[in-house]
Amino acid sequence: MAAEPETAQIRRRGLMLVLSSPSGAGKSTIARNLLERDKAFELSVSVTTRPRRGSEIDGAHYHFRTTREFEMLRDNDQLLEWAEVHGNFYATPREPAERAMAEGRDMLFDIDWQGAVQLREKMQGDIVSIFILPPSMRELKERLRRRAEDQDSVIAARLENARAEIEHWREYDYVVVNDDLDRAFVSVQAIVAAERLRRDRRPGLFEFVSGLLDEKL
Ligand code: ADP
Ligand code: 5GP
């Protein structure tokens, strides 16, 4: 989405967009749409110790690792944040995220509330966080079933955890209810467009405004 005419494109800092939701509410679907349509975003590919789902590709959806490999990454300070979710470890690799920020690129993080807390502490001014809610618990259950990639016991555990995850909704900058997918996606795009225009995210404005004021008519 082009937010401004080309003449007014002004240098800005990258933003770190955190999307969280109870499992099944649709954050991966929204994240995928955003990555397809907004080429400024790069996905932070997390490390996980959970088993790979049939549709997932190692290195694209996650870096699938053993618990021992995960512990080595953690102990060598190669993780920006990590958490245990549904009995498995999940973590954000440090190096790609720090490089993206240093180069002024935008990065998308599909992480849970524990990860969001840790990133907010470390990267305060760069984080924009959105919590995705399902329209109802009944629909959440249906979506977990329809996805049909987890066993029944896993689905039951995820539903159980959903309530605890939802309790954290107040910690996020924005909340979007994913009832109709198109509508929810438009809301996410609007949040991104506005956040990119924030004054404190646009150091290039100083130069632009002094050029404006120096302009001879
Ligand atoms: P999460 O990443 O939050 O666990 P997913 O993005 O995998 O959730 O979505 C769970 C399931 O619900 C998927 O099968 C997805 O296609 C479906 N889904 C996502 N958003 C909607 C929506 N607004 N209406 C109906 N189904 C949806
Ligand atoms: P799933 O197993 O469905 O892919 O993900 C389960 C949960 O783990 C989701 O809430 C997802 O956002 C979260 N998650 C995925 N990657 C990370 C990560 O790197 N860090 C943290 N803290 N949570 C993650």
Whether residue 113 has its Cβ less than 6 Å from ligand 2:
no
Q: Quick check: 172 and 20 in contact, CB under 8 A?
A: yes
Pocket lining: 46 vs ligand 2, CB cutoff 6 Å: yes
Report pLDDT digits (tens) over 136-191.
999 999 998 887 776 788 888 888 889 999 999 999 999 999 999 999 999 999 99
Q: In which order are the strands placed within the sheet that holds 46-48?
A: 62-64, 46-48, 88-93, 79-85
End-to-end CA, the chain: 33
Would you state the structure tokens that stand for residue 133, as one six-digit string? 């809610």
Which pLDDT score, from 0 to 100, does residue 124 have? 85
Ligand nearest to the CA of 162: 2
Per residue in 185-214, pLDDT (tens digit) is 999 999 999 999 999 999 899 999 999 999
Structural domain boundaries of the chain? 13-210
Q: Is the per-residue pLDDT at 1 higher than 70?
A: no
Residue 52: per-residue pLDDT: 95
On whether the 13-210 domain is CATH 3.40.50.300, my answer is: yes
pLDDT mean over 95-107: 90
Q: Count other C-beta atoms under 10 Å from residue 180's C-beta.
A: 10
- Alpha-carbon span 122 to 202, nearest angstrom: 20
- What local confidence, expressed as pLDDT, does residue 176 receive? 98
Residue 3: pLDDT band by 50, 70, 90 thresholds? low
Average pLDDT of every residue of the chain: 92
Pocket of ligand 1 (CB under 6 A): 21, 23-29, 143, 146-147, 178, 180-181
Q: What is the pTM of this model?
A: 0.92
Closest ligand to residue 139's CA: 1
Asked if residues 89 and 49 have their Cβ atoms less than 8 Å apart, the reply is yes
Ligand 2 nearest atom to the CA of residue 92, by list position = 19
Q: Whose C-alpha lies nearest to ligand 1, atom 19? A: 26
**Strand (E) positions, 58-160?**
62-64, 79-85, 88-93, 106-110, 127-133
Mean pLDDT within 77-85? 95
Assess whether the C-beta atom of 73 lies below 6 angstroms from ligand 2.
no
pLDDT tier for residue 86 given thresholds of 50, 70 and 90: confident
150 CB under 6 A from ligand 2?
Answer: no
Closest CA relative to residue 25, chosen from 128, 136, 129: 136
Number of the ligand 1 atom closest to the C-alpha atom of 179: 23
Q: Which ligand is nearest to the CA of 176?
A: 1
